[in-house]
Structure 1
Amino acid sequence: MNRVVHVVDDDTAVRRSLAMLLRSTGHQVETYGSAEALLQTAEAPGGLAQGCIVLDVRMPGMDGLLLMEVLSRRGIRLPVVVVTGHGDIPLAVRAMRAGALDFVEKPYAEERILEAVGSALASSRQVDRQRLLAAQAQAKVGALSPREREVLAALMEGKANKVIGFELGISPRTVEVHRANLMEKLGVRSLPEAVRIGLEGGIGGAG
């Protein structure tokens, strides 16, 4: 999947030069002159392409911090690299606390901004992978019977077959059958693997 670097900066010259740099190194780039412009794209059919956001933290109208808050409320969680002027370090720190992945101070060296963008895109790929694994785990857990989910939840709490059988009103042998069936459906051979899928699939456990 091709990922896009979304550059948000009200300074036209800065926005264009950064876009040129990123494109010269093989990145796909979309540029926005304001936070509001990016939100318009986010609200349009198709929304924002997967990738990352390079965001000027101080802009007229909606600033970078407020944009991050709005995106978070809307469930748009692309990694963010904040770009800040010399006097805006405290603002950048607030942005980091709000979830920004990195911040780069102006004027920045090309190597520094490229490094930050590379890390953000790598983070984006990892998020996509985690979402895929979670979706796969949810599908596997969804294929379990209600009783098998109960047994898995109990196993995730570290309970022995005898205890599980007592609590569910079934024999330990029946617990073993359910355990074997659920592990087959989950496609795993060990209990730790089953526990991992259970957690990713939304089954709680006391650990």
Structure 2
Amino acid sequence: MNNVTRSVAVVDDEVSVGRAIQRLLRSAGIDSDVFTSGEAFLDALAAAGPHAPSCVVLDIQMPGINGIEVQRRLGGSGIQCIVTTAHDDARVREQAQAAGAVAYLRKPFDGSALIGAVREVLDMPPTA
């Protein structure tokens, strides 16, 4: 799965949060797909073949497969993770960062911080 694209996946069990992140990314000219569970994202990823996203904006606390487990399963895929959470926990933050998260954002986060992290992962120039 080393043929990643310049797209973004948003994985958050709160539909309204996923859509808000998608709108925020769209406002910066970044396309994304939204998934409401880790399972749905991993299933879509398995079906995507060589068209995997470059980046996933990943909520930590979700029912079923949580964000840390999704991140673990992505290991070696080349997909960069930007982790978001409403419940900051030092242990979880350390796990996410040890697994290679490129950013860790606590909700509610600054939209420009998220856009900046995504643009960096996608190797897009910063906005003025």
TM normalised by structure 1 equals 0.54
Structure 2, gaps ≥5 residues long: none
Alignment of 1:25 with 2:32, yes or no, is no
Matched residues in 1 for 2:56 and 2:101: separation? Answer: 10
Matched residues in 2 for 1:79 and 1:71: separation? Answer: 9
The residue type paired with residue 26 of structure 2 is R
Matched residues in 2 for 1:23 and 1:45: separation? Answer: 21
Higher helix share: 1
**Which residue pairs with 2:52 in the alignment?**
49
Higher relative contact order (CA 8 A, sep 6+): 2
| 3-state SS of 2:33 partner | strand
Q: Which has the larger radius of gyration?
A: 1
Residues 56-205 of structure 1: matches in 2 within 5 Å?
56-72=59-75, 75-122=76-123
Q: How far did residue 110 of structure 1 move? A: 1.2
Matched residues in 2 for 1:50 and 1:18: separation? Answer: 16
**Which residue pairs with 1:36 in the alignment?**
39
The residue type paired with residue 117 of structure 1 is V
Matched residues in 1 for 2:39 and 2:51: separation? Answer: 13
| 3-state SS of 2:74 partner | helix
Matched residues in 2 for 1:60 and 1:47: separation? Answer: 28
8 Å contact from structure 2 (residues 88, 106) kept in 1: no
Matched residues in 2 for 1:87 and 1:27: separation? Answer: 27
Structure 1, gaps ≥5 residues long: 124-207
8 Å contact from structure 2 (residues 5, 51) kept in 1: no
RMSD between aligned alpha carbons? Answer: 2.0
Q: How far did residue 46 of structure 1 move? A: 2.6
- Identical-residue share of aligned pairs (%): 36
Give the direction of change, closer, same or farther, for the CA distance of 1:24–1:47 in structure 2 (3 Å limit).
same
The residue type paired with residue 41 of structure 2 is L
Paired residues, what number? 121
